Amino acid sequence: MAYRTYLMVCAGTGCVANQSIKIKDTLIKELEKKGLQDEVAVVTTGCNGFCGVGPIMVVQPDGIFYQLLKSSDIPYLVEEHLIKGRPVKKFMYIPSEKEPPIPKMSDIDFFKKQVLIALRNRGLIDPEKIEEYIARGGYSGLAKALTEMTPDQVINEVKKSGLRGRGGGGFPTGIKWETMKKVPGDVRFVICNADEGDPGAFMDRSIIESDPHAVIEGMLIGAYGMGSTQGYVYIRNEYPIALERLLKAIAQAKEYGLLGENIFGTDFKFDIRIIRGAGAFVCGESTALMASIQGMPGEPRAKYVHTVEKGLFDFPTCLNNVETWANVPQIIQKGAEWFTQIGTGDVTNDPWGGSKGTKVFSLTGKVVNTGLVEVPMGITLREIIYDIGGGIKDGKKIKAVQTGGPSGGFIPESMLDLPVDFDELTKVGSMMGSGGMIIADEDNCIVDMAKYFLNFTQEESCGKCIPCREGTKRMYDILENISVGKGTEEDLELLEDLSYMVVESSLCALGGSAPNPVLTSLKYFKDEYLTHVREKKCPAKACRQLNVYTIDEEICATVGHGCDLCKKSCPDFAIFGETKKAHHIDQMKCHKCGACYDACNFKAIKVE
Amino acid sequence: MSEEKKQNGWNPKIAAFLCNWCTYTGADLAGVSRLKSSPCVRIIRVMCSGRVDPSFILKAFKKGADGIFIGGCHIGDCHYSEGNYKTLRRIEFLKIFLEDFGIDPKRLRLEWISASEGDKYAATTLDFEKQIRELGPLTFMN
Amino acid sequence: MKPKLALYWASSCGGCEIAVVDIEAKILDVADFFDIVFWPCIMDFKYKDVEAMPDGDITLTLFNGAIRTSENEYLAKLLRAKSKVMVAFGSCAYEGCIPALANFYDKKKIFECNYINSPSLQESSKNVFPQTHTQMPEGEIEIPEFWNTVKSLDQVVDVDYYVPGCPPQSTQIIAVVEAVIDILKNGKPLPPKGTILGAGEKTICEECTRERKEKKIKKFYRPQEIIPNPDECLLDQGIVCMGPATRSGCDALCIKANMGCRGCYGPPPNVLDQGAKMVSALSSVIDSTDPKEVRDIIKTIADPLGTFYRFSMAHSIFHRVQKMEEEEK
Amino acid sequence: MERSIRMVTVNIDGKKIEVAEDTTILKAAEAAGIWIPSMCYSDLLEPYGVCRLCSVEVIRGKRSRIVTACNYPVREGLTVNTNSDKVKWIRKILMELMYSRWPNVPVVKEMAERLEVTKPRFVSLERDESENACILCGNCVNICRDVVKASVLSFEGIGIERKVVLPFNEQSETCISCGACAYVCPTGHIKIKSLETERGALQDFYLGPKSAINIPTLQAVPRVPVIDKNSCIKMQTGGCGICSEFCEPGAINYEMKDEEVDIEVGQILVTTGFNLFDPQQIPQYGYGRLDNVYNSLDFEFMLNSTGPTGGTIQCKDGSEPRAVGIIHCVGSRDENYKKYCSRVCCMYALKFAHLVKDRTKAEVYQFYIDMRAFGKGYEEFYKRLLDEGVNMIRGKVAEITEESYNGNKPHLLVKCEDTLIGKFREIPVDMVILCPAIEPAQDAAKIKKILSISQSPDKFFLERHPKLDPISTMTDGIFIAGCAQGPKDIPDSVAQASAAAARILSLISLGEVSVDPIKANVIEEFCSGCRICNNLCPYTAISFLEDKKISDINEMLCKGCGTCVAACPASAITGKGFTDEQILAELEGLLTV
């Protein structure tokens, strides 16, 4: 049954949070009211990535993109667009105040520069319907692998493609598979790591929400290649929509005979179990994740014996990230050669020789367009920030880019033309990580940001080994001291010394990478640190304890008429002044919390 | 005839084969305990109820016993481990036989009475005596 | 003067007479040595001739057959009086044998069976019972009276010796005859009174060549139910064999023919009651401790009384069945 | 599949060392006499690798890497540097981190000294000044989970909040009190406390052994610990085995098995004693349900100077009782339970009363049916107790309840009818001592079977004659004494046991015992070897003589039961003393009268 128009309502977590389901329901009701239910279909899709402007709806086949919808807008939209055939401009994307609205999705910069492999089906299919995935060529990669290829050929194809682990380490997937294949034994497992823990990152969630079958198909192909019959998906329980869609997808795949015994009429059998994680950051670490599946505390162990040899329940185990798995079907379907055309370097002889394919980043921070983007390897940071991201908010100056999640490093503005791939990022002291990308502008204090990330890692450290447990806490303490003006130049030395030690001696990658923000910030923004310790000032005014808050009495008296808001907000009762008259701050009492600054509506509070 | 005898103060003769370890001692206990047991019982002590040859029983009937009482240890408690099992089988067999011979098998009674069951001995013999009295005297044809 | 010999058949099948003739050429020695004065089976002797003999005139009487009728009893008493040595010859005279199986019933029951219920009876002759005295035109006919209980010879008269067997084996008869001739010729002392002649002191097992093992019986079989192993003890295989409770002497004749011993040689010495003893022995080796199972195993023996007392009924402790149904009512 | 051990050569600090492949660097270095510092390593456990002090530099080709020596397996050609500048630098900072957090823990201090860390550059906000602080090495958690397999201890919290805890911070029921955690704790942070002393009073005191390894009783001789097979984790499941790891002299042996020792004896004296009636069968007395209701053995235990209270008489809350009720005939002289009199209770109840009077100021109430003070000096003792002011109440107690008035501390209320004054009384007391019946030992029935002796209806062992022979049994050579024969007090038991001993000695001095000549034997001339009897004898006295083709009875094995005699179809077996002729003659005689 064909419809003349399809309304693709985004049902990614961001849009759902902004009532997209209610919009869908209203749409259906409205269409029925107008008698359009046989002409226009409403489809819920996975995340489009452009979460900053949700809820989103795309009208297909025209590709008209509507943003920031409200259910009250629907009757008007249906009337105008669907009955009268006039796309509604006021719901369209407007790049800047001066520019006209852009009606078509493909014309929006945010989407234009993206290359979709892992997210190729996003916004185009209903993720809860396996038929739609199949209609888009889904499971043909599996069919090809099972019917036309030997397991070794599958592994070889992946190896040739130069696919590297998208979870952060960038280990060549084909090599991992090959090593696992060589380990003797009948029992072996494959695991999909969907325990996405980086704050602000949601690539994996988005992939599962918009295209869960791609992950299942990838795991099936991998399992076939490595001779495994049991797979696990370790997924955060905080991802209810992703979890639900994955469970539905597994049930559908089982119904279609794509999971279970005799898949595609061959002897190959495979099943997937879902394990829900409780949200510990460290459980994204492979050994901790396996410990957690085994019902033990999520603690990493030394990986001197690799998990492909002795992993889950001491059996050979191949763990890959969601995005990695989602890439596999495309590689098998279209061939390694197609994949290697995208990306950097040459992987024909050395699997470490380059970065191929695409990477999904979650673009956040001080950019105009925040959301999820899939870009080809080798794209420059500048392209991502300015072309896709639409530049820095409020026309401010960019200070740094922090990639790779809380354990990634800062990249200064001077390096914005750095091509993004595994090795380049590592070279400058950051990392690809799972794909977080946070843009900092001039209002961000580097010390404060380093402290923020370190606070996260020291809190999320499992506490097993001393460098990570004690070391990161001490690092945080030092940063805290610096941020409140108690730091010395010796502290900076000690901080650096300690950071290097933690990197060297930690048990797992969490500790091994946690000091990255500190080390890169010390490397590229040493001056800012020095200002903090020498002058006890924070240039970005972000370290409030270093600030001196004063009230511009004139503004206060004349513009604000002594509104008392600051007085009421002050927890220390440090603000004095009669109502309707100018106020002032008793610096002896002020604890520099900045509450008054936030409270003042007339910008009468000055910070120095 | 039997009615006559019953009325003429007839007292049944009961031959009892009692095992030395259990029932004989039990009978002893009944005596020591001053319990009233059947006076009609004429006890023959055997070491084990397994010693009781069916011929003895037939002979006893022939010699004028109106009832025959065999007492042994409880199953599993036999002083000789398993002697009472054999007794059990012989008596089962013999009861079928007696019936064929035209003698009421109720006249033959096998009981397991342990050394401590003086009261049981007393009660059982009294009961048996009562039963024999109801059956009347045993007479033989020529 | 030759010693005098008498042979008589009371209630018997005549098999013993045939057995005597079956000693072949030896019969000539008998005829040669003895003066046969009474042998109704072979020649026409008259009772009155015997009656006319002085007491103790007959040296040896071989009496076979049980005492069923008044005539049997009369002849037994007569011959006893006229004989020096009275021998109960054959199983019937010794212990009742097959005729004594009638002791399961009484006269009334037997007559009912024969003269009322017998299917071969003509309607006219039904309910016609034999009378001891019948007045016929030719005169009064007297036929012997039918006793209630079949008895062995020694239950009626004093018996000197016994020769068991149904019939006694010819070899055994020869041995007895030779011994008797030897005694009479050479004046050897007679064996003690009551001696059982022509048989062993042990049981059939002594003569049986089958291999015997420790016994454990779970079920009894009738001979037609299984094909017994010819080398193994029949009892071990569950076939009732009276051998262990039967006097030796027949050379395990039946057992050699794959048939369990039927016990015609009577109980071994010391055994009071062949049937009861066999019951005791068999129940000792029944392989069960559960009373119900024991009963079930016992029930696999067909006709226990007839099996265990086939030959020794008259001589058993009870002689006969004690209570008749009528009497009960 | 057992892999053959491959030897590899590694280079540690320039020394070439040959070790088995997959040995850890730490072990290899130890073998070479090279010291690598470690705080968390324990020989008993899989390396956990948390202190990182054993970090060493591993060089393979051009690449150098920091690894932990405790769990890094060696491979052929590995070059290890345990003392490079980088390693020293790492250790120093690690030590500083530790030292700043636990400045007073001896092991940390020692290690810091050894690594030349005198003053840490860090200030730890989590600084723990105590000498036995937990340094989070994880040994306790690991030994409990991996070796003992009890998994009682675990880590709680992540990051700096990490600490070792019991589930919900409560005493865990799965804790087997093995003490392994305390043993492996390098700082003495884990201590083992006696729960009894902790709770202060007599809560749940219990007479039996408390843990799998114990000294059975206070007065055990020899006073050495034994392992209770039924509660030992090692013997039950194969897990744990921790005690042998700890026992330095290696005195622990799990392989020891219960042995059955055959001892040939001529006579047996059965003195298997008694059981105390379980008063829980009389629920209205509240034993096991109400606090401060004890049975006589509990109370004896309390009186014992080595007992849980050191001999002071006190309630569970530690207070001295104000009044004590002693209840006689609990289960004895009772139609519902034991009909007999247990004989000893009256007198020990009087003794209890005396001791309570002696040691406390409590009022004592005796609830009795009849006072049976029958022994020498007993009546006098009873009189003395009356003079001491013990309250004697004649009547059977109906019920004991717990009452509390006006929110005061609850006390017990003993309800009974005083038959002497003919009134129903309710007596408030703080403590009740029940005097339960003496009942036969639990395994009396088993012993009875083994020894072929009898039990009287009350299930005590039956004597041959209650008056003339109260120490022998029906079986020759087996004697009984003490409470195995019936309830009795110590003087009676001593007297009976002495008598039995004397009897036994007199038989021993005779040198030989005459036994009844009741034996069966085969009359050869009548046996034809039917083998009916072969299987009958439980003592295997009957055998078949293959050469003679007859059966034979070994008279020494024969016990004379006569089963075979009855079974012999040829009457070829006679039972001496009980021949067919004898029995038939007996029968004849009995039935002709």
Question: Which one of 3.30.365.10, 1.20.58.2240, 1.20.1440.230, 3.40.640.10 gives the CATH number of domain A446-535?
Answer: 1.20.1440.230
pLDDT (tens digit, 9 = 90+) per residue, A374-386? 999 999 999 999 9
Chains A and C touch (3+ CB pairs under 8 A): no
CB atoms D592 and B63 under 8 Å = yes
Q: Closest by alpha carbon to C37, among C60, C55, C16, C10?
A: C60
Residues sharing a CB contact under 8 Å with residue A444, sequence separation 6 or more, in sequence order: A366, A399, A400, A540, A542
CATH of the domain at D21: 3.10.20.740
Tokens 């009199």 correspond to: D341
Q: What is the pLDDT of residues A116-148, one digit of tens each?
A: 888 888 888 889 999 999 998 899 999 999 999
The helix-helix angle for C274-285 and B54-62 (nearest 10°) equals 140
Do D445 and D427 fall within a single domain?
A: no
D410: preceding bond cis by omega (within 30 degrees): no
C308 vs C270: CA distance, rounded Å? 17
Smallest Cα distance from D503 to chain C, Å:
40
Asked if C212 is an interface residue toward chain D (Cβ–Cβ < 8 A), one would say yes
Task: Please answer whether residues D539 and D556 qualify as being in contact, where contact means their C-beta atoms are separated by less than 8 angstroms.
Answer: no
* D535: chain C residues, CB-CB within 8 Å: 214-216, 285
DSSP letter, residue A10: E
Give the residue among D68, D50, D48 at the shortest CA–CA distance from D58.
Answer: D68
At D362-401, the pLDDT tens digits run: 999 999 999 999 888 999 999 999 999 999 999 999 999 9
pLDDT mean across residues, chain D: 86
Share of chain B above pLDDT 90, in %: 53
Q: Which of C276, C289, C321 sits opposite B58 (nearest CB)?
A: C276
Using an 8 Å CB-CB cutoff, list chain D residues near B83. 538, 561, 563
Residue D221 CB contacts under 8 Å (≥ 6 apart), including other chains:
none
Higher pLDDT, D228 or D333: D333
Give the integer Cα–Cα distance in Å for D457 and D479.
Answer: 18
Q: Which residues of B touch D518 (CB under 8 A)?
A: 47
- Confidence (pLDDT) at D194: 58
Asked, for residue D556, whether it belongs to a domain, the answer is yes
Say which amino acid occupies A360: V
Structural domain including D306 reads 276-439
At residue A407 the predicted structure's pLDDT band, cuts being 50, 70 and 90, is confident
With pLDDT > 90 as the criterion, what percentage of chain A qualifies?
Answer: 40
The answer to whether D591 contacts chain B (CB < 8 Å) is yes
Q: Looking at the structure, do residues D432 and D570 belong to the same domain, yes or no?
A: no
Please give the CATH topology (third level) of the domain spanning A547-607.
Answer: Alpha-Beta Plaits (3.30.70)
In this complex, do C203 and D535 lie within 8 Å of one another by their Cβ atoms? no
* Structure confidence at residue D208 (pLDDT): 41
Give chain B's largest Cα–Cα span.
46
Closest CA–CA distance from residue D126 to any residue of chain A (Å): 9
**CB D143, CB D44: distance < 8 Å:** yes
Domain assignment of residue D319, yes or no:
yes
The reported pLDDT for the residue numbered B10 is 86
Residue D413 and residue D326 share a domain: yes
Count of domains forming chain D: 5
D578 touching chain B per CB within 8 A: yes
pTM of the complete model beyond 0.80: no
**Which residues of B fall within a CB distance of 8 Å from C275?**
97
Cα distance from D550 to chain C (closest Cα, Å)? 9
* Confidence check: pLDDT of A290 > 90: yes
The Cβ-side half-sphere exposure at D444, using a 13 Å CA radius, reads 23
Q: Is there a single domain that holds both residue D22 and residue D97?
A: yes
Q: Where in chain C is the domain with CATH 3.40.50.700?
A: 4-99+154-186
pLDDT in tens, A220-263: 999 999 999 999 999 998 888 899 999 999 999 999 999 999 99
Cα gap D84→B71, rounded to integer Å: 95
Question: What is the chain B residue with the closest CA to D574?
Answer: B51
Q: Where are the domains of chain B?
A: 12-135
Assess whether D158 and D226 both reside in one domain.
yes
| Alpha-carbon distance D90 to nearest alpha carbon in chain A (angstroms) | 6
Q: Is residue D121 part of a domain?
A: no
CA distances from D476 to B21, B115, D480 (A): 12, 15, 12
Q: Which CATH superfamily is domain A5-108 in?
A: Glutaredoxin (3.40.30.10)
Residues of A in Cβ contact (< 8 Å) with D121: 494
Chain C residue nearest residue B51, CA to CA: C280
CATH of domain A357-441: 3.10.20.600
pLDDT at residue number C328? 42
Please state the φ and ψ torsions of residue A423, each to the nearest 5 degrees. -75, -35
Tell me the pLDDT tens digit for each residue of D235-247.
Answer: 776 667 778 777 8
Residue of chain D whose Cα is closest to the Cα of C242: D569
DSSP codes joined into one string, A514-552: TTHHHHHHHHH-HHHHHIIIII---TTS--GGG--EEE-
A383-390: which pairs have CB atoms within 8 A and are 24 or more residues apart? A383/A113, A384/A420, A384/A437, A385/A416, A385/A439, A387/A109, A387/A112, A387/A113, A388/A109, A388/A110, A388/A113, A388/A114, A388/A363, A389/A110, A389/A363, A389/A439, A390/A95, A390/A96, A390/A109, A390/A110
Residue D195 lies in a domain: yes
Q: Does the pLDDT at position C21 exceed 50?
A: yes
Residue D419 in contact with residue D236, Cβ under 8 Å?
no
Whether the per-residue pLDDT at D497 is higher than 90: the answer is yes
End-to-end CA distance of chain D: 87
Q: What is the CATH number of the domain that holds D532?
A: 3.30.70.20
Residues D286 and D359 in one domain: yes
Q: Which residues of C touch B85 (CB under 8 A)?
A: 289
pLDDT in tens, C230-251: 899 999 999 999 999 999 999 9
| pLDDT-derived band at D202, boundaries 50, 70, 90 | very low
D190 contacts D133 by C-beta, under 8 angstroms? no
Would you call D218 helix, strand, or coil by DSSP? Answer: coil
Residue B51 at interface with chain D, using a CB cutoff of 8 Å:
yes
Mutate which of B51, B53, B55 to test chain C, going by most C C-beta atoms within 10 A?
A: B55
* A417 Cβ neighbours under 8 A, 6+ residues apart: A380, A381, A382
Cβ-Cβ contacts under 8 Å, A285 against chain D: none
**In CATH terms, is domain A130-336 a member of 3.40.50.11540?**
yes
**Which string of DSSP letters, residue by residue, matches C58-76?**
EEEEEEESBEEEHHHHHHH
Residue D260 located in a structural domain: no
Question: How far is Cα D113 from Cα D106, in angstroms, rounded to an integer?
Answer: 10
* Chain B residues touching D452 at Cβ < 8 A: 21, 79
* Per-residue pLDDT at C68: 92
**Nearest CB to D159 within list A302, A461, A466:** A461
Lowest-confidence segment of A330-344, D503-517, D518-532 by average pLDDT: D503-517
DSSP state of A319: E
Please answer yes or no on whether B100 and C304 come within 8 Å at the CB atom. Answer: yes
Q: What is the mean pLDDT of residues D96-121?
A: 90
Domain boundaries, chain A: 5-108, 130-336, 357-441, 446-535, 547-607
Helix (H) or strand (E) holding A607: strand A605-607
Question: What is the share, in percent, of chain D residues with pLDDT greater than 70?
Answer: 95
**Pick from B88, B94, B141: which is nearest to C279 by CB?**
B94
CB of A377 closer than 8 Å to CB of A420: yes
Average confidence (pLDDT) over A56-80 = 88
Looking at D510, D539, D554, the residue that finishes a domain is D510
Name chain A contacts of D90, Cβ cutoff 8 Å: 501, 504-505
Please choose, from the candidates A153, A165, A167, A145, the residue with its C-alpha nearest in 3D space to the C-alpha of residue A221. A145
Q: Is the ipTM of this complex over 0.85?
A: no
* pLDDT at residue number A567: 86
Nearest to A507 among D49, D86, D122 (CB): D49
D69 plus D205 within the same structural domain: no
User: C75-119: per-residue pLDDT in tens?
Assistant: 999 999 999 999 999 999 999 999 999 988 888 888 888 888 888
Phi-psi region of C113 (alpha: psi -120 to 50; beta: other; left: phi over 0): alpha
Q: What are phi and psi of D386, to 5 degrees?
A: -60, -40
CB contact under 8 A, C284 and D571: no
Q: Are residues D280 and D405 in the same domain?
A: yes
Sign of CA dihedral D391, D395, D400, D404: negative
Same domain, D193 and D237: yes
Residue D336 lies in a domain: yes
Residues of D in contact with A460 (CB under 8 A): 158-159
Asked if residue D250 and residue D175 are part of one domain, the reply reads: yes
Contacts of D204 (CB under 8 A, 6+ apart): none
Q: Does the residue D268 lie in any domain?
A: no
Chain C residues within 8 A of B100 when measuring between CB atoms? 304-305, 321
- Quick check: C266 pLDDT over 90? yes
Residue D558 domain-assigned?
Answer: yes
Q: Per-residue pLDDT averaged across D516-540, rounded?
A: 87
The fold of the C4-99+154-186 domain, in CATH, is Rossmann fold (3.40.50)
For residue D81, the SS3 value is strand
Give the domain CATH number at D420.
3.50.50.60
Establish if B33 touches chain D: CB-CB under 8 angstroms: no
Please choose, from the candidates A123, A328, A84, A262, the residue with its C-alpha nearest in 3D space to the C-alpha of residue A206.
Answer: A123
Q: Structure tokens of D80? A: 């290890």
Pairwise CB contact (< 8 Å): D66 & A462: no
**d(Cα D574, Cα D524) in Å, to the nearest integer?**
11
Report the alpha-carbon distance of residue C75 to residue C78 in Å, rounded. 5
Judge contact between C69 and C144, C-beta under 8 A. Answer: yes
Question: Which whole number is the average pLDDT over A293-313?
Answer: 88
How far does B50 lie from chain D, in Å, by closest CA? 4
Angstrom distance (rounded) from CA D159 to CA D150 = 25
Instruction: Say which of B58, B89, B103 has its CB closest to residue C286.
Output: B89
Residue C3: partners with Cβ closer than 8 Å, 6 or more residues away: C33, C34, C35, C59, C60, C184
* Residue A462 contacts D, CB cutoff 8 Å: yes
Place of tokens 């062949």: C274
Give the max Cα distance, chain C: 69
**Count of C-beta atoms within a 10 Å radius of residue C282:** 27
Q: Per-residue pLDDT averaged across D72-93, rounded?
A: 90
What distance in Å separates the CA atoms of residue A193 and residue A287, rounded to the nearest whole number? Answer: 11
Q: Which CATH number fits domain B12-135: 3.20.20.140, 3.40.47.10, 3.40.50.960, 2.50.20.10?
A: 3.40.50.960
